[in-house]
Structure 1
């Protein structure tokens, strides 16, 4: 990214940013490196250096999302929430603070959902939202339960909602969850955002019994969770995080501890993916702790598997294997249900492989990945592709170049047509692994095939 140049001769030096850098103990170069790293978390390739920061200090206004990125780097360094304005930048147009699960009412949660999903449904606004940074927030929020009387926001002109609307939202959950598995996160994002902004929020505002509104809130939380997964799959982690906090809001207002725990589990997985390991552990443990005693085995296995992977990433072998054993025990007893009542064995085997990979047991990881490949349902094209990619990486690390190339060939077949940044990243990883081995016939052939496909 090019360095911004001054556009107004009368600009004022950014004294706020200078004072914050002094408080942080950062040089211009250290600040630039931190901004580049935070940008990389949301897929931005930035090349700022000390000269760039010098321009900001002199009063140059960088283009969005750079002010938000600078604010996030300072928040992490100083241990308190910073905004672009607090860092001496102009308020970016349309910018909004990250929703936290403390909205004052059901009505406020629904308004926040309508506002964010409405912006996300617009192509121009969606591009701006994609540049929002992931925010290192620290400890997870405690479960506080919902409030009674969810009908206070109802508008009289709206039709009364009931079981039919709940069933329609359940059907939408199944539809969009399947679309994510079959086509990747980039396929149905606009449609789901529009559905949430229009249909779901209308029903959440409409008059109806509290029981119905709680059910609508739960299904809406699941739809928001799916939309967050879609954004994460496309590398847009800042907006995904915002949606997951809205899912927490909706789950709390619906009195639904299961939906709350599932959203915490997703926040844990996202934090771990971005290498915020201690934060990931806090959220993964909070997800397990939040589950009610009567929750189904599939959901408990889902939460415990993420906790196991997180312990393994921190090198906590005993805790990782203990959590994995519990996850597998619950997984064996789990039945088949809807997308949020079933934890497919192929997904659990993948998490088992991640535990063993983090702990350095590549053989056990490879066996678990082979099992995951066999167990993936036919419709889960994205899951199968990413499993094959991981398996090929492990085979190559074990020196089995020919076998790795065979599995990567299967990966390219499975991933064809998917709109998924995760799959694109796996292709780049494959290329990076094979280019030093281009003299090997299988590697050379695979690189040529990938070049033609690309």
Structure 2
């Protein structure tokens, strides 16, 4: 009997669409992709995004014969072949009929020229996200769609050179101050309870309150520009909280739309931070090559924006990507440059409000991840320990840093310490809705696979099952 996902047989599709799928056959031939490799990569990408599938060569044969795959599989197939061909593809490009219930999922991947259409797309994405989740579905992360917003943003940056401005201070009780007050509240909730606990509130406020403000006419140009910058920050927060909740496809879409709004706000510091978020997302989802490119675009964006703290984060994202690519020299260089930018900052009060949360402890936490990925256990232990001590009031950061520290102990063959530290990370997750924290612990647990005969490991796996699920 076929395995089942969401009540549907995993290896089957819906009824035939009416004949051989010539568009899919042509794309497969152009990509030089075998049936088996396509099926394998579709399964891998689907699992990264929370969809358990078990496709094989026979599945691809059925697609070529005209069978329409269920759910979001056509989008995942388009993402896989887009990776191979180096350009964005849609399901329609591959001969799959469009799913008219979820058109916004495709439009939200594009950095649009017309800002009125961007606002409409963002409002529809938010409304569909909140009210009609079954129609939106589990939209996939599409690596091939990262090129369009990077290119469009950098072209805007070149064309508007000299015309950008830093964010001005806001006073009074106008709409800009109100929106920024809400941003501060959402930030605080996110730090304490994780993105999963605040995501819906951010999306609701953005789509139902802020987007309509921007669609109104008659707002003074200076205030309108600041409103666009604040809306861009909110959209980026919707993306980041979606990422933290494990909604990777939605994270990509909200961040892409945030970048377009940021151009209207003419805020290079914020633009760099949105690119940093996209870089983090791409690297964490197994595309460090894209993560490195996005960090590089962010550095080009923020280089002359007067924000050393913003540049520090971008160099940290570059280091993260380089470490994931297994490049110690490039990683060390990026971390050194990040440290120099941190030293160059005159303090948070002299920085954009979007980057004032960044500090020495943030860089320590990111450095620890880099050292872990490069197998530099002693350095990972030192920096992760410092991060744990510094973030006692931030349970998500505590959980992630403790997970990195546990791995550093394990890499030094200190099993008891490793499991004890991971158990502390598990305890830190109580009341925190953060898939990133969960994934950090799953990464550690996966490294225990060869030592499952040890009683301490069996006990940890038993205790962690409620939060992390059953070990593979």
Same fold (TM over 0.5): yes
Q: Is the 8 A contact 1:12 1:58 kept in 2?
A: yes
Equivalent residue runs for 1:28-427 within 5 Å: 28-93=35-100, 94-96=102-104, 97-99=106-108, 102-125=111-134, 128-137=136-145, 139=147, 140-141=150-151, 142-145=154-157, 164-206=174-216, 207-332=218-343, 333=345, 335-336=347-348, 338=353, 340-378=355-393, 380-427=394-441
Q: 1:329 to 1:229 in 2, by over 3 A?
A: same
Q: Runs of 4 or more off by more than 6 Å in structure 1?
A: none
Structure 1 residues not aligned, in runs of 5+: 148-161
Given the two structures, how large is their TM-score scaled by the length of structure 1? 0.88
Taking a change above 3 Å as real, the CA distance of residues 123 and 410 of structure 1, as seen in their structure-2 partners, is farther
Residue 154 of structure 1: aligned partner: none
Query: What secondary structure is seen at the aligned counterpart in 2 of 1:399?
Result: coil
Match of 1:16 among 18, 23, 30: 23
CA distance in 1, matches of 2:215, 2:141: 30
- RMSD across aligned C-alpha pairs, in angstroms? 2.5
- The separation in 2 between residues aligned to 1:34 and 1:224, in whole angstroms, is 30
How far does residue 425 in structure 1 lie from its aligned partner after superposition?
2.5
CA–CA distance in structure 2, aligned partners of residues 334 and 298 of structure 1: 9
Aligned length: 437
Shift of 1:143: 4.7
Q: Deviations over 1:153-211 (max 9, x none)?
A: xxxxxxxxx85211111112112222222112211222211111111112112231111
Give the unaligned 5+ runs of structure 2. 161-171
In the alignment, is the contact (CA less than 8 A) between 1:189 and 1:230 conserved in 2? Answer: yes
Mark the CA change 1:346 to 1:95 in structure 2 (over 3 Å): closer, same or farther.
Answer: same
Deviates more, 1:46-55 or 1:418-427: 418-427
Which residue of structure 1 aligns with residue 451 of structure 2?
437
TM-score, length-scaled by structure 2: 0.85
- The structure-2 alpha-carbon separation of the partners of 1:172 and 1:390, relative to structure 1 and needing over 3 Å to count, comes to same
* DSSP 3-state at the match of 1:110: helix
CA contact (8 A) 1:204 1:216 kept: yes
Aligned-residue offset at 1:224? 0.9
Instruction: Quote how far apart the aligned CAs of 1:428 are.
Output: 3.2
